[in-house]
Structure 1
Amino acid sequence: MFDAQRTAVKQSQQLLKQGMATQRNVDTMALTGLKGQASLQRQQLELAQAATHGYVNATAAVLPSDDASEVHRTIDETFDQLKTTYAEFYDVLERELERDVDSANELSEEFADALDEQTDQLLEITQSVEDRTVQNVDELSGQLREQLERTQELQDQLEDLLENQTSDVEELLERQAEQIERFQQQLEEQTEAVTQEIPVQGTDEPHTKIETDPEHTLESVEGIDEEVREQLSEAGIATIADLTRAGPEAVAEAADIPESQAEEWIDQAEA
C-alpha cells in the first residue's frame, strides 16, 4: 500500500514537471513566432514602399520632376517612420515577452524546487507513517501473544481446578457409597435377626407371635416415647429383645441420641 502511494506521488511530480516544460516550450515558440512576425511585417512594409514608389513613377509623366522627387522623399520618410514605429513596437513586445518567459522560467524553476522539496517531505512523512504502522502492528502482535499466553494460563488453571473438584467429588461419592454399603449391611443383619424369631413354615414348632405385651414392648422403657418408637421401628427395633440385641451404637444412630442414653435404655430392657 505504501509503495503504491510513493509511486503515485513520484508520478504526480513528473507530470507537473512535464507540464511546466511544455509551458516553457510554448512560451519559447511564442517568442520565436513574434520575431518571425516582426520580420514579416518589415518585409510587407518594404514591399508596400516599393509599390508606392512604382505607382509614383508610373504617374511621373503627369507631374513635374520636382514634385515627383518630393513625393518619393515623403514616401520614404513615411515608410521609415512606419518601420521605426513597428520596430519599436516589436522590440517592446519582444522584450516584454522575453521578460515574461524569463520570469516564467524562473518561476517554473522555483516551483520545481518547491515541488521537489514538498515531494521529499511527503515521501518522508509516508515513510514515517509506514514505520509507525509497522511498529504498531508489531506491538499489537506482541499484545495479542501476551493475551493468548494469559488465556492459556487461565485455561490451565481452570483445568487443574476442575480436576481437583472432580477428585473431591469422586472421594465424596466413594464415602457415600461406603456409608450406603454399611447401612445395607446393618439392614440385612437386622432383617436376619427379625426373621430368626419367625418359625419356618411346615415345621411342627408353634408360630411365635410378635410380642405385644407391654412388658416386652418398648413402651416399658422409660424415655422412649411414640416418636422414638417409630424411629426405632423403622430401624427394625420394635421389642425389648430387639433393643438388647441392637446394641448402644445402633440404637443411638436409629433414635438420633447419645450412646449413653441408648445404654440406659438397654440396661432398663435387660433388668
Structure 2
Amino acid sequence: MSKLGNEKISWILSVVFCFFLSSVLAMATTGDGGFAKELEVEKILKTLNKPAVKSIKIYPGIYGDDNPRLFTYWTRDSYNNTGCYNLRCPGFVQVDPTVVVGSSLQNNISVYGGSQYVLSIHIRKDQTTGNWWMQVGNTSVGYWPASLFNHMSVGASHVKWGGEIVNKGSNGQHTTTGMGSGHFPEEGYGKASFFKHISIVDANNSLASPKSFNPYVTNAYCYNITSYDYSNDSGVYFYYGGPGRNSNCP
C-alpha cells in the first residue's frame, strides 16, 4: 500500500460542493454527500448546475500574475446571472482579517522533489443558520450565506475533488498548462499533487471517510488520477495532475 509522508503537498486546493456537478479533467467524486476536510491543489473548476464554492491555484485574468491564491467562487445558475469571485461582489462574508480570500500565497509553497507543505481546508454547513463556513487551518475565514443557494438547504448530494485546466486548443494544440504540480500522479509523493485525509460531514454532522470514489479523467495522456487508497497516516488519499501538452498529448 502506498504511503504519504507526514507533510502534505500544497500546490493549493480545489473542491466543488453542489447539487450536481460537471465532469472535470481529473476528478474523484463521492455520492455520500458532505464536505472535504483537507485537500490540495489545482487550476480552475466549473460547475454544470447549481451552487458551487471552490478554491483554485492561479487565475492571471483576475489579478494579472501567476501567484497561487486562496480563491473562491459561488454560483447558483451555472454562471449565467449569479456568482462572484472572492470579495469582488456581495456573497462570501469575510470575518477574519488574517486569512483573506483572494490573497496571494507566496510562502511555504511545495517544491518538486523537495519540501512539501499543506493548506488544510474544512467547509461545513452551520446546522442552525444554514450558512456554509470555510476554515483554513485553525482559522474560521468566513462564510457563504444560506440565502445564496437554491438547493443546499439540507446538504450536498455530491462532492468532487480534483483539477481542471481550461484548454482553448490554440493553433490546434493542447495547452501546456500543468495541473497540480505539472507531473503525472504515478510519480508519487513529493512530486505529484494529491489530496489526503479526505473527509465528508455525514448525516450526524460528524467527519467520516467517503465510502467510495469514482475517478474520472477526460484524457489520461494529458492529466491523470490514481485510484483512491487508504493508510493510517494519510487516511483516504489519491494523486493526480499532469503536464498538459506532451508527445502523447499534442
Q: TM-score, normalised by structure 2?
A: 0.15
> Higher strand proportion, which one?
2
Q: TM-score, normalised by structure 1?
A: 0.14
Which is bigger in relative contact order (C-alpha 8 A, separation at least 6)? 2
